[in-house]
């Protein structure tokens, strides 16, 4: 398929693969870093549903850990020009809000003292930008990064982690 010949980003039925990284320092003693892949489809114009898979490394007090984190994310592109690229330079963009949840399985307790099974709700804002019609779409954003086991083993084994989650990636239509 010729770049730019598929359904425009933000248009109902368009599908996208995003590859990226996340950096989430908890501003105390832990730092979480991930690589992720998302498969997204626009179910209606400007509203995207994404299936995510992230591989995490947790540098934390106690034992460091690695984890796998499948999830579901909903994203509303509230403002933007992707579906109407009537600009002279061909660049397009969007501003979006998103929210989602996932399940985290880790090699050690995350946070330390918790469990190896956790939930990962998230919510945030971001931007997409395509500098030219034949280029991929770049994405960046900031999310609330939360890890907790929802008290599955009681209150005493439910430490949580809250941090700003900075992420960036590249999206390709298919």
Q: Where are the alpha helices (DSSP H) in the chain?
A: none
**Domains of the chain with bracketed CATH:** 15-169 (2.40.160.20)
Q: Given a cut of 90, is residue 116 above it in pLDDT?
A: yes
Summarised one tens digit per residue, pLDDT across range 141-170 is 999 999 999 988 887 788 899 999 999 999
Summarised one tens digit per residue, pLDDT across range 26-38 is 988 999 999 999 9
| pLDDT given at position 88 | 54
| pLDDT given at position 79 | 94
Q: How far is CA 111 from CA 51, 102, 159, in A?
A: 24, 16, 6
Summarised one tens digit per residue, pLDDT across range 97-114 is 999 999 999 999 999 889
DSSP at 96: E
**Hunting for tokens 């299936």 — which residue is that?**
51
C-alpha 66/C-alpha 34 separation (Å) is 9
Give the predicted TM-score (pTM) of the model. Answer: 0.91
Q: Given a cut of 80, is residue 49 above it in pLDDT?
A: yes
Cβ burial 80-98 (10 Å sphere, 16+ → b, else e):
bebbebeeeeeebbbebeb
Q: Given a cut of 80, is residue 2 above it in pLDDT?
A: no
Summarised one tens digit per residue, pLDDT across range 55-72 is 999 999 999 999 999 999
C-alpha 145/C-alpha 142 separation (Å) is 9
What average pLDDT does the chain have? 92
């Amino acid at each position: 398929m010729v770049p730019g010949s598929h359904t425009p980003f933000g248009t109902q039925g368009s599908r996208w693969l995003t590859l990226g990284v996340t950096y989430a320092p908890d501003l105390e003693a832990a730092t979480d870093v991930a690589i992720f892949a998302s498969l997204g489809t626009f179910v209606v114009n400007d509203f995207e549903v994404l299936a995510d898979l992230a591989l995490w490394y947790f540098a934390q007090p106690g034992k460091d850990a690695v984890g796998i984190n499948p999830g579901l994310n909903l994203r509303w592109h509230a403002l933007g020009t992707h579906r109407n690229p009537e600009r002279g330079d061909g660049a397009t963009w969007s501003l979006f809000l998103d929210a989602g949840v996932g399940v985290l399985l880790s090699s050690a307790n995350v946070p330390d003292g918790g469990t190896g099974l956790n939930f990962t709700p998230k919510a945030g804002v971001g931007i997409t930008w395509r500098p030219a019609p034949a280029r991929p779409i770049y994405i960046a954003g900031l999310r609330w990064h939360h890890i907790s086991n929802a008290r599955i083993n009681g209150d005493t084994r439910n430490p949580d982690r809250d941090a700003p989650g900075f992420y960036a990636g590249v999206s390709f239509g298919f």
